[in-house]
């Protein structure tokens, strides 16, 4: 407001001076006293003009400084506001990403859980149960007691040492086998598991495996009619051991005889 007032006064004074100057030009008869007055008045007007201008510049500078201060404060406030807003948006974005990751992780965990659940479904359990039910048992005995019944002299001296005192080479009352297994399957598995020497040959005519020797005792060691044969449940099958399919609780006996039929 001070700047406006001083500017208005300056303008009025200038107009007054211009008026006096115009009057001076039109009236050449004015006295030197009037000229001096006009000159003094002009000098005063110039001083006032300079003072007003200086004040105006000073106040303008102050106002400019004040405006700059306000602008700086406003800029700082705006910067802080933007920084807070950016931080808030960044936090919000981070939270959104975390939520998305958690959502995906939860979904994946659920799928994995579902897969595991499917793996342990009743169908699989039924198959395992069925497979377990396919596990059957039988007994297996390998013996040479007949040699001890007055036939020990038929063996050579080195062979006599191979005969156990009770005539039992192997005896297991519970051998596990699967449905469809044969006498041959059980025998070959058990002698291998227990490190018992066994030799056999394949007979093309009968298309079967023939047992030549078990635990060092071979056919013809105790005479021309000696050798190995097998029984199942007390009966001598009429075919090779790899043809006889076992049933649950079957009793298998391999024994060395001196009287092969």
pLDDT score of 96: 59
The pTM assigned to this predicted structure is 0.52
pLDDT 10s digits, 211-238: 999 999 999 999 999 999 999 999 999 9
Strands, E, within the chain: which ranges? 135-143, 168-178, 198-203, 208-214, 217-218, 227-232, 251-257
Are 194 and 201 contacting, i.e. CB atoms less than 8 angstroms apart? no
Q: Which of 12-16, 32-36, 87-91, 138-142 has the highest mean pLDDT?
A: 138-142
Q: Which residue has the higher pLDDT, 8 or 233?
A: 233
Q: pLDDT confidence of 39, banded at 50, 70, 90? A: very low
Strand 135-143 and strand 251-257: the pairing is: parallel
Cα 9 to Cα 19: distance, rounded to the nearest angstrom: 15
pLDDT score of 100: 62
pLDDT 10s digits, 55-64: 443 444 444 4
Question: What average pLDDT score do residues 185-212 get?
Answer: 96
Alpha carbon 86 to chain centroid, angstroms? 35
CB-count exposure of residue 108 (10 Å: 0-12, 13-18, 19+): exposed
Cα 113 to Cα 35: distance, rounded to the nearest angstrom: 112
Q: Which residue has the higher pLDDT, 51 or 256?
A: 256
pLDDT score of 11: 72
Cα 133 to Cα 213: distance, rounded to the nearest angstrom: 34
Say which DSSP state 56 is in.
Answer: H
Question: What average pLDDT score do residues 106-111 get?
Answer: 51
CATH code, residues 135-257:
2.170.130.30
């Amino acid at each position: 407001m001070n700047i406006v007032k001083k500017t208005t006064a300056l303008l009025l004074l200038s107009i007054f001076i211009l008026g006096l100057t115009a009057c001076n030009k039109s009236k050449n008869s004015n006295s030197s006293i009037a000229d001096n007055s006009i000159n003094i008045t002009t000098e005063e007007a110039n001083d006032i003009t300079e003072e007003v201008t200086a004040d105006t510049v000073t106040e303008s500078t102050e106002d400019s400084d004040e405006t700059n201060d306000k602008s700086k404060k406003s800029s700082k406030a705006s910067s802080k506001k933007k920084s807070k807003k950016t931080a808030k948006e960044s936090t919000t974005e981070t939270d959104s990403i975390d939520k998305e990751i958690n959502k995906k992780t939860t979904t994946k965990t659920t799928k994995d859980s579902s897969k595991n659940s499917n793996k342990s479904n009743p169908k699989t359990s039924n198959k395992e149960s069925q497979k377990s039910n396919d596990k059957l048992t039988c007994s297996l005995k390998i013996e040479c007691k007949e040699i001890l019944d007055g036939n020990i002299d038929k063996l050579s001296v080195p062979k006599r040492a191979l005969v156990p005192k009770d005539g039992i080479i192997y005896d297991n009352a519970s051998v596990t086998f699967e449905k469809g297994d044969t006498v041959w399957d059980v025998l070959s598995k058990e002698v291998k598991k227990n490190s018992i020497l066994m030799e056999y040959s394949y007979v093309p005519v009968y298309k079967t495996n023939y047992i030549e020797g078990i635990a060092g005792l071979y056919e013809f060691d105790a005479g021309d009619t000696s050798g190995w044969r097998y029984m199942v449940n007390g009966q001598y099958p009429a075919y090779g051991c790899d043809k006889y399919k076992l049933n649950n609780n079957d009793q298998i006996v391999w024994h060395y005889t001196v009287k092969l039929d």
